[in-house]
Amino acid sequence: MSSTCELATGMDQIQFWRALQTRINQDRIPFSGSLALTHRCNLYCVHCYAREMNPSSPELSRDHWLRIIDDIKDAGCLHLLLTGGEPLLHRDFKRIYTYAKQNGFLVTVFSNGTRVDAAILDLFSELPPYQVEISVYGASSAVHERVTGVPGSFEQTRRGIEQLLAKGIRLRLKSVLMTLNHGEFPAMEEWAASLGVRFRFDAAIFPAISGDRSPLELRVAPERAVELEMSKTERMRSWHEFLDQFRGHKTSQNLYDCGSGINTFHVDPHGWLYPCLMVRHTRYSLLSGNFRDGWANAFNAFRQTVAPAGMPCSNCDQKLLCGYCPGFFLLENGSETIPSPYICKIGKLRSEKLYPDKQKGNS
């Protein structure tokens, strides 16, 4: 098999990544995966998709996690996300993280930042993560804590961020845009810029995996979401670069037109292997089987499911812009084939912002 250096010879960066992605997909290599070490969290965020996900159920032991890491390494995984709940709450987080790093994974950690302590700082200094992503929900304690439901959490998160940056840890801030905090988004972006870190956000709030639909009440109007998103030239440029990368890409007629079960996977705290976090109806127990068997056999029917005739998303020219996901559709509408009007509208508005001349030509 050719090395990635050989693949890159004579190619520009986009061509290289296309060739690499093609090979990963053709060989169905689980290149990137997420491990939810726990569903437990010390915050009670009002929008959280993982609310009421049986945090009291038995979690995988440390030895189970280490065996899974061995298995996914052998299967070709490189990028590994440690997430939760709050992953730093897991009593064996340090051992699991260390084992992943020692086995050569590029490890990202999702955290709320409140559990950063001296031991975590020493660990990340000795074995630096690929990056740590911290969730923030406001530029003030009042707004942030209205979302998290925990007094004092803003100061804890802010302190965790500052401590990580002081140690030189690669850091990124992220948020969820909602009715409770959209007024502070400019200030949140300024805060991230003052720290010299990147900031991303998402407005696509959906029901919790448990079925709780109350998070939908927190959605901001699509117009407001796209207005904030396109207020930065850098984000518009990133969108154009992304769309240029996929220009001429032939859309699959499979219902799930993404990497789920092809190059990505998700493992929950109880040992269930899923194609991705949002797909809950297809799974394989890693307690009764092993990763290689699950990856090879459990997702075949899922990956071969074809979008039904007449599904409006199939030939939509805004599919790359909206955040198309049948898993989200299932949560919101009870069906993987009924699109979310909310993200359809966001896709349309993004298109209008990114291609204003095209809109004039159609008027």
Does residue 352 lie within any of the structural domains?
A: no
Does residue 68 lie within any of the structural domains?
A: yes
For residue range 34-84, what is the model confidence (pLDDT) as tens digits?
999 999 999 999 999 887 565 567 899 999 999 999 999 999 999 999 999
Q: CA–CA separation, 255 vs 272, rounded Å? A: 22
The structural domain count of the chain equals 1
Half-sphere exposure in the Cβ direction for 150 (13 Å, CA): 15
Does residue 203 lie within any of the structural domains?
A: yes
pTM comes to 0.91
Structural domain span for residue 151: 30-44+55-247+263-307
For residue range 135-147, what is the model confidence (pLDDT) as tens digits?
999 999 999 999 9
CA dihedral 39, 40, 45, 46 (to 10 degrees): 60
Question: Which of 179, 187, 183 has the alpha carbon at shortest distance from 203?
Answer: 179
pLDDT tens for the chain, 363 residues long, are 444 444 444 446 656 666 767 777 777 899 999 999 999 999 999 999 887 565 567 899 999 999 999 999 999 999 999 999 999 999 999 999 999 999 999 999 999 999 999 999 999 999 999 999 999 999 999 999 999 999 999 999 999 999 999 999 999 999 999 999 999 999 999 999 999 999 999 999 999 888 899 999 999 999 999 999 999 999 999 999 888 877 766 667 899 988 999 999 999 999 999 999 999 899 999 999 999 999 999 999 999 999 999 899 988 888 889 999 999 999 999 999 999 999 999 999 999 999 987 755 555
Q: CA–CA separation, 188 vs 138, rounded Å? A: 6
Does residue 189 lie within any of the structural domains?
A: yes
- Domain holding 288: CATH number? 3.20.20.70
Does residue 87 lie within any of the structural domains?
A: yes
Does residue 321 lie within any of the structural domains?
A: no
Return the bridge partners of 108, or none: 81, 131
Does residue 355 lie within any of the structural domains?
A: no
> Residue 104: phi, psi to the nearest 5?
90, 10
Do 73 and 103 contact (CB within 8 A), yes or no? yes
Does residue 330 lie within any of the structural domains?
A: no
Strand segments, DSSP code E, in the chain are: 32-36, 79-83, 106-111, 131-135, 171-176, 198-202, 264-267, 272-274, 284-285
Q: CA–CA separation, 326 vs 249, rounded Å? A: 20
